[in-house]
Structure 1
Amino acid sequence: MTDTTDDTVLIQEARHWEDETWIAQVIKNEDDDGWAVSMTLRGEAEPALVGPWTMGRDKKNPKPLDAPAFHTLVKTAHEVRRRHEQQLQARLHKKIWIGSGAHEIVVTLDIVPDDDDPYAMLAARNAEGREVARKRVEAGFRLTAETAEAWLARELA
């Protein structure tokens, strides 16, 4: 089955199913006698999700893809991408609070993962949100309450 929307032919077959955003392919599992399914976002080289796929009734060939299975796979692949983005965000952007009340300071570390020159920006904001210090540091800088307090003591002295 094919759908021609905006001059794009969408393939919807037993082992290959696609929509405007995702492409699902049932592939032979290299590690055993089973089958796997890969979900790839259009325009990306690597699949966002690869997982086991159900065998058909003959226990030899894969179960064919259909619309409900494809929609479930899309939902799962989207969730995997969302979690990956959240994990990357958490790894590249760290935040801690030091002090308390009117003396509370928020210290952030924003890592810039440049291939040639990775670095991080360390910044501190007071309780009113005004930036009180900023410094470029190595990408491997470990942000802890102790390192933040020591940095701020030097910066604000």
Structure 2
Amino acid sequence: MTEPTDTDTLPLHEDRLWRDGLWTARVIKNEEDDGWAVEMTRQGDPEPALVGPWTMGRDKKNPKPLDAAAFSTLVKTASEVIRRHEQQLHATLNKHVTVTARDDRRVRVSLAIVPDEDNPSATLSAHDDADDTELARVPVSPAFRLTAASAAAWIESDYARPR
């Protein structure tokens, strides 16, 4: 993330550039056709969270000016895009399955991956589904595939570290 300067945080309300709070809307020429696009960038983020088509003005050549109502809608949409992306990333990095062990106890097995360009890691853990007591925790490869079968095999091995 780039550090914001004082001028990056001041409100700005222009026809093609609108900044208020954490967001900046910028109307740009659409590279794919003769129209216009708007990009929404969250302060400190290197890339826009949202890029979408923007309406032409009455002269059919220039873009419609940004205004408070449009900016508010764009902020809500861009925030939702980021929220969905974060939810998807969380779901990708944190998996859970619940299996029944030999003793008919329900065990919730979780895989938590910590992405890191230099040293990614992962942890496999088991919890009693009834009272949430931790039964085991071991480091595993971030490439470990958590399935009901791999969870059951881990439990059957008395929680020996999977290879």
Shift of 1:9: 3.1
* CA–CA separation in structure 1 for the residues paired with 2:70 and 2:104: 54
Q: Does 1:150 align with 2:146?
A: no
Shift of 1:57: 1.2
* CA–CA separation in structure 2 for the residues paired with 1:10 and 1:102: 61
Structure 1's unaligned 5+ residue stretches are: 1-5
Verify the 8 A CA contact 1:111 1:121 in the aligned structure 2. yes
1:129–1:102 distance in 2 versus 1, CA, 3 Å: farther
Correspondences of 1:18-57 after superposition (within 5 Å): 18-57=19-58
Query: Secondary structure of 2:152's partner?
Result: helix
1:156–1:66 distance in 2 versus 1, CA, 3 Å: closer
Work out the number of aligned pairs and report it: 152
Q: With structure 1 as the length reference, what TM-score do the two structures score?
A: 0.90
Find the counterpart in structure 2 of residue 3 from structure 1: none
Structure 2's unaligned 5+ residue stretches are: 1-5
Shift of 1:30: 1.1
Q: Which amino acid aligns with 1:112?
A: V
Verify the 8 A CA contact 2:10 2:19 in the aligned structure 1. no
* CA–CA separation in structure 1 for the residues paired with 2:55 and 2:144: 46
Task: List 4+ stretches of structure 1 deviating above 2 A.
Answer: 6-9
Shift of 1:155: 2.5
Query: Secondary structure of 1:60's partner?
Result: coil
| Identical residues among aligned pairs (%) | 59
State which drifts further: 123-132 or 142-151. Answer: 123-132
RMSD over aligned Cα atoms: 1.9
Shift of 1:32: 1.1
Q: With structure 2 as the length reference, what TM-score do the two structures score?
A: 0.87
* CA–CA separation in structure 2 for the residues paired with 1:102 and 1:144: 19
Q: Which amino acid aligns with 2:22?
A: T
